[in-house]
Structure 1
């Protein structure tokens, strides 16, 4: 395990980290959720409550500044630091945390493909609901999956496990939809 942790710490392509420590009024869960949502959207890893870290990248730095503005608007306060000398234990915690976070997101995409998307097409085939409108609705679901995968890949700075499986599952969904659309076309072509 120690060897894997040392490897994880050295795999990082950045030795600089952005750290945000913030406090929002405790009487407003709306404020806490708003800040949490923005930091998670950036891909932030929570070291502990109200302490979030990100790799030091220009677009993330800009995003963190916007979150700080949000904290201030909500009546809170924050401290924003750039960490340049992070110990091995903290480095390992950050890298493993980011990898775990991305791996969970990839697993959710796989689950979404296997449960919702595939089952939807199976259900429409069972109902014999071969309509253009249904095919179009399912295509929108595929586009959502593609956008979600792209967002997760953009935030996967530490090369988490699960990326290739998630990509393969989204491709499987695309193939299933193309087959369904072909069936819709064949069944409706003569009725137009």
Structure 2
């Protein structure tokens, strides 16, 4: 695979964790379960059923749980620590992680711009100024915050888009606070 041009210097990583696994092919549910767990950890797929992560203690523990899950599903796995990775492979890993995180930041921005903002606009259009609606939208904001925190926690290589995603979530919070103030004025403020 060709190396990708890097815009920033790649952070130094002493070692990488590599998981190669196989789950029974008759169960797509098993394959998806393993894939989902590895993606939750922030794993970068080098190819099908071959996943890499930077060497961190919490990730080692997470990979062991994935290996246990693979075994429960009737599969097998090999876990390696790579300490001598050539520059091309290292660049591929770093760019893969950056790309993965940048995509997630972009999805958060899209979620803010479309679903969240449009929801508040729609409720204003409907004049649905109720505590229940404000509370439902607040739960959506909390989901966005948790999602952003997870992405930031997996952004080991300094991907682009973090500041924009943070800014959009802050904008959502401001919009919600304005909506909540309107709800208060239209309900409690009339008492």
TM range (shorter): over 0.9
Structure 1 regions of 5+ residues with no counterpart?
Answer: none
| Matched residues, number | 190
* Structure 2 equivalent of residue 97 of structure 1: 96
Question: Cα offset for 1:183?
Answer: 0.3
Question: Cα offset for 1:189?
Answer: 1.4
* Structure 2 equivalent of residue 78 of structure 1: 77
* Structure 2 equivalent of residue 38 of structure 1: 37
Q: Secondary structure at the match of 2:68?
A: helix
Structure 2 regions of 5+ residues with no counterpart?
Answer: none
TM-score in terms of structure 2 length: 0.96
Q: Cα distance 1:25–1:112, how it changes in 2: closer, same or farther (>3 A)?
A: same
Once residues 155 and 59 of structure 1 are traced to their aligned partners in structure 2, the CA distance between those partners, rounded to angstroms, is: 11
Aligned-residue CA RMSD in angstroms? 1.6
* Structure 1 equivalent of residue 158 of structure 2: 159
Once residues 166 and 156 of structure 1 are traced to their aligned partners in structure 2, the CA distance between those partners, rounded to angstroms, is: 13
TM-score in terms of structure 1 length: 0.95
Once residues 52 and 11 of structure 1 are traced to their aligned partners in structure 2, the CA distance between those partners, rounded to angstroms, is: 19
* Structure 1 equivalent of residue 110 of structure 2: 111
Once residues 82 and 3 of structure 1 are traced to their aligned partners in structure 2, the CA distance between those partners, rounded to angstroms, is: 24
Contact 2:44–2:53 (8 Å) recurs in 1: yes
Render the CA deviation track for 1:70-113: whole Å, top value 9, x for unaligned: 00000000000000000111000000000000000000000000
Once residues 132 and 50 of structure 1 are traced to their aligned partners in structure 2, the CA distance between those partners, rounded to angstroms, is: 47
